[in-house]
Amino acid sequence: MAQIIHVNAPAGGYDILFEPGALKRMAEILAARGLTGRTAVGTNETLAPLYGRALGERLPNAVVITLPDGEQYKVLDTAGVVYSGLARLGLDRAGLIVALGGGVIGDLMGFVAATYMRGVRLVQVPTSLLAMVDSSVGGKTGLDLPEGKNLVGAFKQPELVVIDTDVLATLPDVEWRCGLAEVIKHGLLADPACSTRPAAPGTGCGVRAARGGGQSEGRGGRPIRAEHPRPPEPGAYLRPCAGTGQRLYLEARRGSSRRADCSNPAIDPAQAVRPQSADAGRIPAANLRVADSPGSL
C-alpha cells in the first residue's frame, strides 16, 4: 500500500512516495505528476542489471547512464563525463534526471541536476536503506575532492522521492546495518527518550525493520528532514550532532580498501576520509556507458 509524506522545502514542497513495487509503476507515477520528457536514469554497474535496465525499458523516451560503483567515483571528473553524456543525448532544461542508487549516485546525479544547464528536474529513487532515510531527502548533494569528502556541492530539492521498499531484499548485510544505524540516530535526535525505554507497539519510539517491503522508522515514522524542514540558509542544513552518526557507521570509504563495517564502531571514521591523490576516481569518457535504446546497457 502506498504512503506519502510531504516535505516543505524553501523553494516549494515535494512528496516522498513509499510503495512496494513502485519501480514497476514508475512511468505512471511520473506521468501523474507531469514529470515527463527526455529522461536520463543515472545508476551504477551493480544496480543496472538488477533495476536500471528494467526502469529504462518502462520509462518512455529514457536513456540509462551507468557509472562505476564506489565512493571513489563521486568526483568532479565523473560529473564532467556525465555532463558530456547528457549533452550528447540532447537532454535540455525540460528533461528529467532520475537518480537510481544509494548515496553516491544520489549525491552525484543530484549535483549534476543542480548544475547541468543551470538546473534540470530531479527524481530521487534511493535503493539503500541509508539513502532512503537520509541522503535522498533534504536536497543536499556533494562531490569529493582529494582534500576531503563533500567539499563541492549544491542544494537541489527533488521533484519527488520514490522509495520502493522491495529493493531492500537485495541489500547487502553491511549496508542494511549502516541504514539501521542512521534510523536509530534519527530516532534519538527526534526523541531522546527513545534511548531510555524499549520500543513498544503504538509508541512511535524505537526501530522496526523488515527486509523486502518492510519499513523502518523513528518517531512517527517520519524522516527528521521531512518533519523539521530547514530554512534556506545553507548553514541551517547541517545535521545536528553529526558526530553521533559517525560513531554508528562509517560514512566515508575513500582512502581505504576496506568496506564500512557498521558492526564495529570502534574504527575511527577519520581514518576512512584520508585525502586521495589527484588522479583518484578519474574515469575516462569511454567508461561511461550510455544506452540510447532503453534498457540496453
Asked whether residue 280 is assigned to any structural domain, the reply reads yes
Asked whether residue 118 is assigned to any structural domain, the reply reads yes
Domain count, the chain: 1
Asked whether residue 296 is assigned to any structural domain, the reply reads no
Decide: 272 and 252 in contact? Cβ < 8 Å: yes
Asked whether residue 243 is assigned to any structural domain, the reply reads yes
10 phi/psi in degrees, rounded to 5 = -55, -40
Asked whether residue 1 is assigned to any structural domain, the reply reads yes
Distance CA 50, CA 37 (A): 24
Decide: 156 and 141 in contact? Cβ < 8 Å: yes
* DSSP code at position 171: -
Distance CA 287, CA 69 (A): 12
Confidence class of residue 226 from pLDDT cuts 50, 70 and 90?
Answer: low
pLDDT for 274 equals: 35
Mean pLDDT to the nearest integer, 180-197: 80
- 3-state DSSP assignment of residue 6: strand
Mean pLDDT to the nearest integer, 215-235: 43
Please indicate whether residue 198 or residue 154 has the higher confidence score (pLDDT): 154
* 86-95, 130-139, 234-243, 247-256: range with lowest mean pLDDT: 247-256
Residue 266 pLDDT more than 60? no
pLDDT for 199 equals: 56
The residue to which cell 518533519 is assigned = 227
Decide: 40 and 99 in contact? Cβ < 8 Å: no
Mean pLDDT to the nearest integer, 153-170: 95
| Residue of 226, 14, 50 whose CA lies nearest to 128 | 50
Strand order in the sheet with 96-101: 3-7, 14-18, 160-163, 121-126, 96-101, 39-44, 62-67, 289-291
Element (H, E) at 7: strand 3-7
Its domain, for residue 49, covers 1-291
- Encode pLDDT of 35-79 as tens digits: 999 999 999 999 999 999 999 999 999 999 999 999 999 999 999
188 phi/psi in degrees, rounded to 5 = -70, -40
- Encode pLDDT of 162-172 as tens digits: 999 999 998 98
Distance CA 218, CA 189 (A): 9
59: domain CATH number?
Answer: 3.40.50.1970
| Residue of 273, 229, 171, 209 whose CA lies nearest to 5 | 229
Asked whether residue 281 is assigned to any structural domain, the reply reads yes
Confidence class of residue 207 from pLDDT cuts 50, 70 and 90?
Answer: very low
* 76-85, 213-222, 244-253, 257-266: range with lowest mean pLDDT: 244-253
pLDDT for 59 equals: 96
Mean confidence (pLDDT) of the chain: 76
What does the radius of gyration of the chain's CA atoms come to, in whole angstroms? 18
| Residue of 184, 78, 79 whose CA lies nearest to 130 | 184
Mean pLDDT to the nearest integer, 182-200: 75
pLDDT for 132 equals: 94
* DSSP code at position 161: E
Element (H, E) at 144: strand 140-145
* 140-144, 197-201, 256-260: range with lowest mean pLDDT: 256-260
Asked whether residue 233 is assigned to any structural domain, the reply reads yes
Crossing angle of the two packed helices 103-115 and 76-89, in degrees rounded to 10: 60
Q: Is 204 left (phi over 0), alpha (psi -120 to 50) or beta?
A: left
Asked whether residue 69 is assigned to any structural domain, the reply reads yes
> Grid coordinates standing for 43?
545508476
Distance CA 155, CA 182 (A): 21
